[in-house]
A and B are shown apart, each in its own frame.
Chain A
Amino acid sequence: MQQSQLMTLIPIIIGVIIIVWIIGIYNSLVVLKNQAKNAWAQIDVQLKRRYDLIPNLVETVKGYASHEASVLENVIKARQMAVNLGDNVKERAAAENVLTGALKSLFAVAENYPDLKANQNFMQLQEELTSTENKIGFARQFYNDSVLNYNNKKEMFPSNIIAGVFNFENREFFEADNSEKSVPQVKF
């Protein structure tokens, strides 16, 4: 009698342990996924902030350097392209990198206009944009770390089985532009 009871109990206990274990892995996957999602939201906030700052910047620069139309147009075009994109990380990253490049050349051009450089409004916008650029960089670093953690967990055994069953998808890295990483020319 006692033995048969034990025999029925053992599978139940094993079953409970397995279920708890699966729940644990599932939850940790969710935590990592949400962390990556939050990190992406942080990037998104900064990207939006940049879109808001650019029209102001273009207006200010126009007043001093109206014949640099092509540079200004590039910035406006790149912004427009980035704004219209959805949440696809890869496309978004490419568009944002174009925008970063366009802004860089705008600030490079601004170096030639001392009046513009001394303008209070321009200085403030430049600080804001530099800072936003930095924040995007730092947020990207944090996002990529989170994505790496999540993808690792998702691909490693045994959590990959559970990830497969519950359809967890790989997240994409937000890659920095390669030209951004290369050494810039120092000019005096």
Chain B
Amino acid sequence: MAGENPKPIIEIENLKVHFKMREGVVKAVDGVNLSLMPGEVLGVVGESGSGKSVTVRTIMQLLPKIASIADGKVLFNDNGTTTDIAKLAKNSRDMRALRGGKIGMIFQEPMTALSPVHTIGHQVMTPILLHTGLSKREAEQRAKETLDMVRLPRIEEMMRSYPHQLSGGMRQRAMIATALACRPKVLIADEPTTALDVTTEAQILDLLKELKRELGMSIVFITHNFGVVADIADRVSVMYLGNVVETGTTEDIFYDPRHPYTRALLNSIPRLGAEKQPRLNTIPGMIPDPYRLPAGCVFNPRCSAATDQLCRTTYPGITRINDHRMARCHRVAEAVATESIAP
């Protein structure tokens, strides 16, 4: 982990994903920059519609039919070779080799994300048979090892079970087993614990952390839950309306948020031991209509710090605060400028 400036395993540069709707084009992802270092957990946080799911699905090229990558790169660095996933055709052989082989993905609904008519064993063996060239018997052995790895009990019986016979937590473990069957370099987790109760959620998060250590993989973890982020993530990217507004280490984001949106989000979480107040804090205003985004910084109509003309007219660029931190905000840019002038 403390490698001397290692290369990120996934680098997303200026990614733009557009949805062609009857009413017009929605820029669901509009210039996202993200990087995932080997062995780290990157949390991606944002409200519904912030584009977090679409951003990480581009890594797998699992976008809806109306969506297209308009611009940008999605670089996958593996063993010294770099692949630009954004350039691969959606259903090409190379793309399919990455899916499930080098990059695994787990989903929000363990109830419906597993096939109801196939056994767990069959579903874990599918990617193994597809990517590894192992014989059926070897694949079965590998599947059993994988089920054991995700701490499922009674492996033999589990191989023959159907999803509807398992509890939610066990289904999510089985789901993780299918994603990790080929020992991928990267695991994409799209709100994998949202549909689970908190006790099960904690167990799954612990499991993911242990597996990350055992397999040395990296995880992109999408959630809207800051508590989950604090538990599992090494670094956090906060998204708002199709862009990353702030990225930093989990500690920085929690204890020293710089972007006004991050601050407002954290401020809206009720805390134990905080002063009693009649109402929870909210962010004023609503998420704008995606067809009519505000000029300038997209957050400016709801931002308490947006006081001058600049915020209303100019889209803020990326400000690098230090090696690990960046934000898209004119106020942060000003503050960083004054800090560097007056040391």
A, B assembled together: no
Interface, chain B (partner A; CB < 8 A): none
Interface, chain A (partner B; CB < 8 A): none
